[in-house]
Amino acid sequence: MAEKTKKGKKRTPKLSCYVFRPMYATLKETVRATVHRPDTVLYPWEKLELPDNYRGRPGLVIERCIGCGICMRICPTGCIELVEVEDEQHGKMRRPQMNIGRCMMCGYCAEYCPKNAMIVTPEYELAAYTRQDLIYDPFELQHEYKPGYEVSIVEVLPSELKRGVGEKEPGREGKDRPELSDAKCIGCARCAKICPAFAVEMIQVGVSDKGKPIKRPKFDFSKCVGCEQCVENCPRDALTMKEVL
């Protein structure tokens, strides 16, 4: 209870300390809260204004999505899964489905999406009656796009900031690339079929003993998004991811 003054003397709080001052403070607060309105927001009817970069549930712009599965790979809670869906406009396609109940709203899927197809939306009222309702299929996951909803990783060095270089998005050249080990490849062209970005092209490199053409994949690294699907689907493990240094 005792407080020390500047001179180092101890003094016990007087009546003013624990009666009059709190009474004055509360009266001031009452007058303030009566003249203006209390700070409480009547939630279901009124809502707080959200900040511009608010990260609510992730949303999908289905036209942009190529189904590469990077979001599924990067998701820390593992709530994204690629499922086969069908649409009149696009035909059969693989698109992410999301378990919102597991989602922790980190926005990594939107950050790492190479086509900015995954965006963060300001929606946060996600309660549902059953767990099944929480699993959003790609069409449910769709959300209207507005500029500012996309999130991107920006890279900048402190030294560059001092020199006046602003933040920039890392280009494709800095990302990991698939690399072919020629001896293992059987030329099955599965990588070319699976590639969501159409970056793989089969090129004839020679003729075999029996006279059949030998084909090898050729990667167009300006198109490649680094999704590793070709590596995963290679039947002979001929492809590996190579780190670009």
- Closest distance between other proteins and the C-beta of residue 12, in Å? 13
Nearer to other proteins, 41 or 205 (CB): 41
- Closest distance between other proteins and the C-beta of residue 50, in Å? 22
Nearer to other proteins, 44 or 147 (CB): 44
HSE toward the beta carbon, residue 15, CA cutoff 13 A: 0
Q: How far apart are CA 80 and CA 134, in angstroms?
A: 12
Binding site for other proteins (CB under 8 A): 18-19, 22-23, 25-27, 29-30, 32-34, 38-40, 42
C-alpha distances in Å from residue 199, one per residue of 168, 194, 218:
24, 10, 8
In the chain, which residue ranges form alpha helices assigned H by DSSP? 15, 21-35, 70-74, 108-112, 131-134, 138-141, 158-163, 190-194, 229-233
Q: How far apart are CA 230 and CA 210, in angstroms?
A: 28
Nearer to other proteins, 27 or 83 (CB): 27
- Closest distance between other proteins and the C-beta of residue 140, in Å? 33
Nearer to other proteins, 26 or 53 (CB): 26
- Closest distance between other proteins and the C-beta of residue 107, in Å? 33
Question: How far is C-alpha 11 from the geometric centre of its chain's CA atoms?
Answer: 58
